[in-house]
Amino acid sequence: MGATPLSDRGPGRPRGLVRALGRAVRRPPAAVARKVRKATHAQGAGESGLGKLIELHAVNSAGDMLITIALASTIFFSVPTAEARGRVALYLAITMAPFVLLAPVIGPLLDRLPHGRRAAMAAAMLARALLALALAGAIATGGLELYPEALGVLVASKAYGVVRSAVVPRLLPPRISLVKANSRVTLAGLIATGLAAPIGAGLHQLGPQWPLYAAMAVFVLGTFLSFTLPHSVDSAKGERRAQLAAAAGEPEPWLVRHTPGHGRRAAQRPGLRTVGASVLNALVANAHVRMLSGFLTFFLAFLLREHPFPGMTAAFSLGLVVVAAGAGNALGTIVGAWVKGRAPEVNIVVVMLLTLTVAVGAALLHTTVAVAVLAGTAGLCQALGKLSLDALIQRDVPEIVRPSAFARSETLMQMSWVVGGAVGISLPLFGTLGLSVAALIVAAGTLATIRALLTAARRGTPHPRVA
């Protein structure tokens, strides 16, 4: 007998084939989603709401990467090096420099709006969704409106980061420390960034505006996810605003003692609202590492475009440095979660000395391996230093001001990155000169903090700083 024609098999057969095909297509993504949900919600993170914050941060990181790819292709890669340098300098001046002025305002402003953290995160997501759509039009026309729109994206991204830092302490499950929670959030962001990068590059082949359309969709999703966080995120019961200062009688770094208004703040500081000497020195050390990261991002981007590694193209040279930095950051996050709160002052000292040693070696050798190792070390030490700072904040800062302390420390980190990027843009493209400046940045932070951190590690915490 011959095969029965498809039209004679009855209406149920094609419908069943379609359903079977649909199940086959859905199963792999659903299985991956279940595994991701199981990982993010482990050890009580699902019940506390931390798992939802981890997923929200992954969405945020993916959207930021898509916008970065679109802007980089327009501002950096599409024009000759000299013109690209001018464009990026303009981008820094119009988009990043104002943030240095806005950053001191964002932290205190969010301190005054503690009951709207979910709304603030949703607003940051929605703002970037709308700005991504506007940027798609600006990229197509090449208009100057690209820069103020990019400013809006940057400020919204940094505002999200400040709020997220304040939210994490509110979502800690009993079995997870603050350091481990922050490492989970950071690692989720790194994974999402790595997944979004090739997707954005593929979309860019269709047109420079397509990564921005994808970013808009991602941020719309993030807007809705923000409101799935627990209501406890909005509760500020018992919270106070932190002061980034040492308690009366505690030593402070030279940079802090010589900032404007230090005498007035010293006379007014309440003991339970200060962060303590160890945290303050750790903040200064981490600020220099973050400054190094911003410096290397911009200086190496232009240096390697003009003078790629021997035997490599400019694109491959840049890719090597980016991969090294990303791998170092991921490794630092894993190591930081492993060491947890063990001697955080010593961890930061090791971070500074390791970074300084590698930076000096790269300046002296200026080889492909040395520069790649410096990029990887900067990523590793940035992650490890930040997690050690988190451990100090958890140990030394009273709970009533801990969310505010996290928000203000994150603001300082972002400002430091901007300053480092500005220095990287301004230097001539001489490798030895740039790498020597990188070593000087780390040396300044090391000399300013290493003695105080070692002294604090030897003495231990003299008394618990609790309310």
DSSP sequence for 71-111: HHIIIIITS-HHHHHHHHHHHIIIIIHHHHHHHHHHHHHHH
Supply the pLDDT for residue 467.
Answer: 39
296 with 348, same domain: the answer is yes
Domain stop point among 237, 253, 277: 237
Distance, in Å, from the CA atom of 39 to the CA atom of 135, rounded to the nearest integer, reads 35
> Residue holding tokens 């801990």?
402
Domain stop point among 237, 256, 274: 237
251 with 215, same domain: the answer is no
CATH code for the domain of 107: 1.20.1250.20
Supply the pLDDT for residue 74.
Answer: 65
Supply the pLDDT for residue 62.
Answer: 94
230 with 251, same domain: the answer is no
Flag whether 417 is in a domain. Answer: yes
265 with 339, same domain: the answer is yes
CA 47 centroid distance within chain: 25
Domain stop point among 173, 203, 237: 237
**Is 233's pLDDT higher than 90?**
no
Global confidence as pTM: 0.75
* Residue type at 348 in one-letter notation: I
Task: Report which of residues 245 and 464 the model is more confident about.
Answer: 245
Dihedral angle at the C-alpha atoms of 78, 83, 85, 86, nearest 10 degrees?
-120
Distance, in Å, from the CA atom of 214 to the CA atom of 279, rounded to the nearest integer, reads 40
Distance, in Å, from the CA atom of 301 to the CA atom of 318, rounded to the nearest integer, reads 7
- For the segment 272-280, the average pLDDT, to the nearest whole number, is 71
Domain residues for the domain of 382 are 245-467
Radius of gyration over alpha carbons of the chain, in Å? 24
85 with 173, same domain: the answer is yes
Distance, in Å, from the CA atom of 32 to the CA atom of 382, rounded to the nearest integer, reads 30
Model pLDDT for residues 412-425, shown as the tens digit of each residue: 887 788 788 878 87
CB 165 within 8 A of CB 406: yes
Model pLDDT for residues 15-56, shown as the tens digit of each residue: 666 566 555 555 555 555 566 666 677 767 778 888 899 999
Supply the pLDDT for residue 163.
Answer: 82
* Residue type at 283 in one-letter notation: L
208 with 227, same domain: the answer is yes
456 with 392, same domain: the answer is yes
**Is 104's pLDDT higher than 80?**
no
Dihedral angle at the C-alpha atoms of 272, 278, 284, 286, nearest 10 degrees?
-110
- For the segment 46-69, the average pLDDT, to the nearest whole number, is 90
Task: Report which of residues 78 and 59 the model is more confident about.
Answer: 59
In this predicted structure, which of 183-187, 232-236, 372-376, 444-448 has the lowest mean pLDDT? Answer: 232-236
Helix (H, G, I), strand (E, B) or coil at 243: strand
Supply the pLDDT for residue 463.
Answer: 43
Task: Report which of residues 364 and 418 the model is more confident about.
Answer: 364
What residues are paired with 243 via a beta bridge?
A: 274
Flag whether 175 is in a domain. Answer: yes
CB 189 within 8 A of CB 57: yes
In this predicted structure, which of 2-6, 63-67, 110-114, 192-196 has the lowest mean pLDDT? Answer: 2-6
264 with 388, same domain: the answer is yes
223 with 309, same domain: the answer is no
Flag whether 71 is in a domain. Answer: yes
**The two structure tokens encoding residue 191:** 């994974």
Distance, in Å, from the CA atom of 388 to the CA atom of 391, rounded to the nearest integer, reads 5
